[in-house]
Structure 1
């Protein structure tokens, strides 16, 4: 099994890249989706969030209101507190799912899509990220493009000027909490620049995928680790 980390800041388009890899047969595990599952009522993460942040972060149906939780985390400078609750549980579940895939498909490429691969180590919630992955891919775009994408994704068509301004501040706060792409690049094996056309994006994925497949195949051979390192 080849373990690949796919990361990128807010609005970088890493989910789009992940979808392209998935179409090509790569197993993709989305950190956000895992986190949402673990935040459901009855889960330990759900209980811990309520203990730390109170019932103000709940929706009327008893589920966690992610916008209210984000407002508490970013607006009240409690992001580190939230991450220490969520990150370890999400990582443990990712590892469990990877082991299941590896047992069924030894040559599989398993990709973890997460915005916070590097940040988790800096925060101290998930140390030594490099041991978790054999390859790292960074999806990048100019910050102004990232913010514009975020606004287009979350704002309703009839959003007021005030709503737009508040959402843009939220986007800037989220970006500020993430490590700059320029700092991440030197730690990555591949960089996908995502400010062009969909065709250009697919072409970049098309160049990377055969290399990942070659490494995965080599890693599953009898001298797998040594062979993979030579590629």
Structure 2
């Protein structure tokens, strides 16, 4: 745990297309500080930054777009199916993301000693980040809802959507390990009410 006395650090995760980003936005509307792990990961690999230079040195300039930003599909293809290469890439990015998250968490605590900080991170359990937070929330949905949303949102075929879903830790396992669960299929108003209630409970525990 890295939270400061008086504040609470919450790990928020879920499956793909379960509604995690919507829930994070609702927590923000309630007054929580939301830290987006994906946004931090994009930030630390901006052109010219140390992580960017290290990635280019290892994986080559073919992993770059014309504007020198990382070409994520190309980089993904380089590490897909190669666990050693994937671990090497993760060792470049993950520690820098963690340091930035810690900095932002401390900043939030300085601004509000009773802050509720939501760390929105897809690989909360897979990367062991759940051991560094005070409590965990998992946003869930049934598989068919995930498939429909991925087809609509990303233009994927059913087979492609199922591949994305099954490549992740099963939602049943995430639910088992979570301190709180949120049903991402709820109507928006009902979901907002649940998040407001959960936020107030978290705030009261600081």
1:66 matched to which residue of 2? Answer: 72
Return the match for 1:44 from 15, 40, 50.
50
Using the TM superposition, give the Cα deviation of residue 31 of structure 1 relative to its aligned residue in structure 2, in angstroms.
0.4
Q: How many angstroms apart in 2 are the aligned matches of 1:29 and 1:192?
A: 19
1:13-24 pair list within 5 angstroms: 13-24=19-30
Q: How many angstroms apart in 2 are the aligned matches of 1:84 and 1:102?
A: 28
Q: Secondary structure at the match of 2:91?
A: helix
Using the TM superposition, give the Cα deviation of residue 12 of structure 1 relative to its aligned residue in structure 2, in angstroms.
1.5
Q: After the TM superposition, which parts of structure 1 deviate over 4 Å for at least 4 consecutive aligned residues? A: 75-78
Check conservation: 1:119, 1:179, Cα contact below 8 A: yes
Aligned pair 1:30/2:20, yes or no? no
Select the structure with the greater relative contact order (CA < 8 A; seq sep ≥ 6). 2
Distance 1:70 1:203, change over 3 A: farther
Using the TM superposition, give the Cα deviation of residue 74 of structure 1 relative to its aligned residue in structure 2, in angstroms.
3.2
Aligned pair 1:115/2:122, yes or no? yes
Q: Secondary structure at the match of 1:192?
A: strand
Query: Normalising to structure 2: TM-score of the pair?
Result: 0.86
Q: How many angstroms apart in 2 are the aligned matches of 1:86 and 1:146?
A: 28
Check conservation: 1:30, 1:114, Cα contact below 8 A: yes
Using the TM superposition, give the Cα deviation of residue 111 of structure 1 relative to its aligned residue in structure 2, in angstroms.
0.7
Q: How many angstroms apart in 1 are the aligned matches of 2:59 and 2:34?
A: 31
Q: How many angstroms apart in 2 are the aligned matches of 1:144 and 1:51?
A: 42
Q: Secondary structure at the match of 1:117?
A: coil
Check conservation: 2:11, 2:130, Cα contact below 8 A: no
User: What whole-Å deviation, never above 9, does each CA across 1:139-178 have from its counterpart, x for those lacking one?
Assistant: 01122322332333333xxxxxxxx44x953x44443332
Distance 1:168 1:49, change over 3 A: farther
- Two-structure CA RMSD over aligned residues (Å): 2.1
Aligned pair 1:186/2:173, yes or no? no
Distance 1:201 1:46, change over 3 A: same
Using the TM superposition, give the Cα deviation of residue 76 of structure 1 relative to its aligned residue in structure 2, in angstroms.
5.3
Q: How many angstroms apart in 1 are the aligned matches of 2:88 and 2:145?
A: 29
Q: Secondary structure at the match of 2:118?
A: strand
1:190-205 pair list within 5 angstroms: 190-205=180-195
Check conservation: 1:138, 1:190, Cα contact below 8 A: yes
